[in-house]
Amino acid sequence: MASDHDPEGREARGERLWTVLDDYEQWPGWTLVGHDGAEAAWLVAQSAIEDVGLQRRCLDLLEVAVACGDADPVHLAYLADRVRMNDGRDQLYGSQFVLGDHGQLEPWPVDDPAAVDARRARLGLPSFSAHAAAMRARWEEQRAQN
Protein backbone atom coordinates (compact mmCIF):
# COMPACT_ATOMS: atom_id res chain seq x y z
CA MET A 1 0.00 0.00 0.00
CA ALA A 2 1.29 3.47 -0.86
CA SER A 3 2.11 5.85 1.97
CA ASP A 4 0.41 9.22 2.52
CA HIS A 5 3.66 10.91 1.49
CA ASP A 6 3.74 9.06 -1.85
CA PRO A 7 2.42 11.45 -4.52
CA GLU A 8 1.68 8.61 -6.96
CA GLY A 9 -0.28 6.72 -4.31
CA ARG A 10 -2.14 9.89 -3.33
CA GLU A 11 -2.99 10.51 -6.99
CA ALA A 12 -4.23 6.93 -7.44
CA ARG A 13 -6.42 7.19 -4.34
CA GLY A 14 -7.80 10.49 -5.65
CA GLU A 15 -8.62 8.90 -9.00
CA ARG A 16 -10.40 6.05 -7.20
CA LEU A 17 -12.45 8.52 -5.17
CA TRP A 18 -13.42 10.37 -8.38
CA THR A 19 -14.64 7.02 -9.74
CA VAL A 20 -16.69 6.31 -6.61
CA LEU A 21 -18.24 9.78 -6.73
CA ASP A 22 -19.05 9.40 -10.43
CA ASP A 23 -20.45 5.88 -10.04
CA TYR A 24 -22.65 6.55 -7.02
CA GLU A 25 -23.25 10.31 -7.47
CA GLN A 26 -23.13 10.73 -3.70
CA TRP A 27 -20.64 10.96 -0.88
CA PRO A 28 -19.46 7.51 0.27
CA GLY A 29 -21.12 7.94 3.64
CA TRP A 30 -21.82 5.61 6.52
CA THR A 31 -24.74 3.88 4.79
CA LEU A 32 -22.79 3.12 1.63
CA VAL A 33 -19.33 2.24 2.97
CA GLY A 34 -19.54 2.20 6.78
CA HIS A 35 -17.66 4.39 9.23
CA ASP A 36 -14.19 3.17 8.22
CA GLY A 37 -14.90 3.66 4.51
CA ALA A 38 -16.32 7.15 5.07
CA GLU A 39 -13.25 8.06 7.13
CA ALA A 40 -10.97 6.74 4.38
CA ALA A 41 -12.83 8.73 1.70
CA TRP A 42 -12.54 11.89 3.80
CA LEU A 43 -8.80 11.33 4.32
CA VAL A 44 -8.33 10.97 0.56
CA ALA A 45 -10.30 14.17 -0.01
CA GLN A 46 -8.34 16.07 2.65
CA SER A 47 -5.01 14.98 1.20
CA ALA A 48 -5.94 15.72 -2.44
CA ILE A 49 -4.21 19.09 -2.23
CA GLU A 50 -3.19 18.98 -5.90
CA ASP A 51 -6.78 18.31 -7.01
CA VAL A 52 -8.89 21.19 -5.77
CA GLY A 53 -11.67 20.10 -8.15
CA LEU A 54 -11.93 16.80 -6.30
CA GLN A 55 -11.98 18.59 -2.97
CA ARG A 56 -14.78 20.89 -4.13
CA ARG A 57 -16.84 17.98 -5.48
CA CYS A 58 -16.31 16.09 -2.23
CA LEU A 59 -17.31 19.16 -0.22
CA ASP A 60 -20.59 19.52 -2.15
CA LEU A 61 -21.48 15.85 -1.73
CA LEU A 62 -20.28 15.68 1.87
CA GLU A 63 -22.49 18.65 2.73
CA VAL A 64 -25.55 16.74 1.49
CA ALA A 65 -24.48 13.59 3.36
CA VAL A 66 -24.05 15.51 6.62
CA ALA A 67 -27.46 17.17 6.17
CA CYS A 68 -28.94 13.68 5.76
CA GLY A 69 -27.15 12.32 8.84
CA ASP A 70 -24.92 10.05 6.75
CA ALA A 71 -21.49 11.60 7.43
CA ASP A 72 -19.46 13.21 10.18
CA PRO A 73 -19.98 17.00 10.41
CA VAL A 74 -16.40 17.35 11.65
CA HIS A 75 -15.23 15.97 8.30
CA LEU A 76 -17.30 18.64 6.58
CA ALA A 77 -15.79 21.37 8.77
CA TYR A 78 -12.20 20.30 8.08
CA LEU A 79 -12.76 19.92 4.34
CA ALA A 80 -14.59 23.26 4.17
CA ASP A 81 -11.61 24.91 5.87
CA ARG A 82 -9.20 23.20 3.47
CA VAL A 83 -11.14 24.34 0.40
CA ARG A 84 -11.51 27.88 1.78
CA MET A 85 -7.75 27.97 2.43
CA ASN A 86 -7.04 26.77 -1.13
CA ASP A 87 -9.28 29.59 -2.38
CA GLY A 88 -7.32 32.12 -0.29
CA ARG A 89 -10.29 32.70 2.02
CA ASP A 90 -10.36 32.67 5.81
CA GLN A 91 -11.34 29.38 7.41
CA LEU A 92 -14.43 28.91 9.58
CA TYR A 93 -13.35 26.26 12.10
CA GLY A 94 -9.62 26.89 12.56
CA SER A 95 -8.56 23.43 11.46
CA GLN A 96 -5.87 24.37 8.94
CA PHE A 97 -2.33 25.39 9.87
CA VAL A 98 0.66 26.51 7.82
CA LEU A 99 4.32 27.22 8.46
CA GLY A 100 5.00 30.85 9.25
CA ASP A 101 7.98 32.91 8.17
CA HIS A 102 10.10 31.59 11.03
CA GLY A 103 9.20 27.91 10.64
CA GLN A 104 6.57 27.97 13.36
CA LEU A 105 3.16 26.39 12.87
CA GLU A 106 0.41 29.01 12.69
CA PRO A 107 -3.28 28.83 11.92
CA TRP A 108 -4.50 29.96 8.52
CA PRO A 109 -6.54 33.14 9.15
CA VAL A 110 -9.96 32.55 10.69
CA ASP A 111 -13.16 34.29 9.65
CA ASP A 112 -14.74 36.00 12.67
CA PRO A 113 -12.31 34.75 15.34
CA ALA A 114 -14.79 35.71 18.09
CA ALA A 115 -17.24 33.09 16.76
CA VAL A 116 -14.82 30.25 16.01
CA ASP A 117 -15.16 28.58 19.42
CA ALA A 118 -18.96 28.56 19.13
CA ARG A 119 -18.73 26.97 15.66
CA ARG A 120 -16.26 24.39 16.97
CA ALA A 121 -18.38 23.66 20.06
CA ARG A 122 -21.45 22.91 17.92
CA LEU A 123 -19.45 20.04 16.39
CA GLY A 124 -18.04 18.82 19.69
CA LEU A 125 -14.57 20.10 18.88
CA PRO A 126 -12.25 21.54 21.54
CA SER A 127 -11.67 25.29 21.71
CA PHE A 128 -9.56 26.85 19.01
CA SER A 129 -6.80 27.69 21.51
CA ALA A 130 -6.68 24.08 22.76
CA HIS A 131 -6.60 22.80 19.17
CA ALA A 132 -3.84 25.24 18.22
CA ALA A 133 -1.77 24.21 21.25
CA ALA A 134 -2.19 20.52 20.37
CA MET A 135 -1.24 21.15 16.73
CA ARG A 136 1.88 23.08 17.75
CA ALA A 137 2.88 20.38 20.24
CA ARG A 138 2.46 17.67 17.58
CA TRP A 139 4.49 19.77 15.11
CA GLU A 140 7.30 20.28 17.62
CA GLU A 141 7.33 16.56 18.42
CA GLN A 142 7.63 15.68 14.72
CA ARG A 143 10.41 18.22 14.24
CA ALA A 144 12.30 16.76 17.18
CA GLN A 145 12.01 13.24 15.72
CA ASN A 146 13.42 14.37 12.36
133-145 residue pLDDT tens: 999 999 999 989 9
Q: Answer for the pair 111, 90: CB distance below 8 angstroms, yes or no.
A: yes
Same domain membership, residue 63 and residue 112: no
Same domain membership, residue 145 and residue 79: no
Q: Is residue 4 predicted with pLDDT exceeding 70? A: no
Report the helix count and the strand count for the chain, using DSSP H and E. Answer: 6, 2
Of the three residues 63, 89, 115, the one that is the final residue of a domain is 89
Give the model's pLDDT for residue 130: 97
107-143 residue pLDDT tens: 999 999 999 999 999 999 999 999 999 999 999 999 8
Domain span holding position 54: 1-89
69-80 residue pLDDT tens: 999 999 999 999
Please state, rounded to an integer, the average pLDDT across all residues of the chain.
93
Mean pLDDT within 24-38? 96
Same domain membership, residue 83 and residue 26: yes
- Residue 45's pLDDT band, with cuts at 50, 70 and 90, is very high
Give the model's pLDDT for residue 29: 97
DSSP 8-state symbol, 107: E
Q: Answer for the pair 48, 55: CB distance below 8 angstroms, yes or no.
A: yes
Rounded CA separation 12/3 (Å): 11
Phi/psi for 106 (5° steps) reads -135, 150
Give the model's pLDDT for residue 125: 96
Buried b (16+ CB within 10 A) or exposed e, 5-44: eeeeebeebbeebbebbeeeebbbbbebbeeeebeebbeb
Higher pLDDT pick, 5 / 45? 45
Same domain membership, residue 129 and residue 108: yes
Same domain membership, residue 58 and residue 98: no
